[in-house]
Amino acid sequence: MQMAAYVTEPPPAKTVLFGGGKVQLYQTSSDHIDVYDTSKNSEAVESFLVLGFGGTGQDMVKSFDVSYGGPEKVNGIDTDKLELVPKTEKVKGVFNHIELWIDSRGISVWQKFVSPEGDYRLARYSDIVLNKKIADSVFKLKTPGNVLVENH
């Protein structure tokens, strides 16, 4: 599984890549790349990635207790809200529950990740294109030559 995300809000812009057992977070404003080895936490990382990046309902119920929250409109789009509670304590230590708003194509258009402390991160997706060939270059960071790389 590979994933690329370009995060523009809140500033500064960031690029996040996942693949080959690592997450790379490139902060364009500081020309800095943090590299995280996910091999020790691959279960937790992949359980989050399947939520918005190609996972099936079967993948979801392996990692989460899922309940139906009802229909809701999101930015004028009809969605169905799903409420997820992680099955493992390790994942609950990161997010104690997650809310997803799924459109008629089965695509997550909003995701809300709630931490054990009650803080949350809301991801909103737009301009979603399905079944388009993706160039390999999308999964490579585009950086200037003088980038600081830190492995964690």
Q: Above pLDDT 70, what percent of the chain?
A: 89
pTM: 0.70
Q: What was the pLDDT predicted at 3? A: 78
- Pair 16, 33: CB distance under 8 Å: no
Cα dihedral sign, 44-131-125-23: positive
Domain residue extents for the chain: 3-151
The one-letter amino acid at 110: W
Summarised one tens digit per residue, pLDDT across range 93-132 is 888 999 999 999 888 899 999 999 999 988 888 777 777 8
Count the alpha carbons within 13 Å of 141 in the hemisphere toward its beta carbon.
22
Fold of 3-151: outer membrane lipoprotein receptor (LolB), chain A (2.50.20)
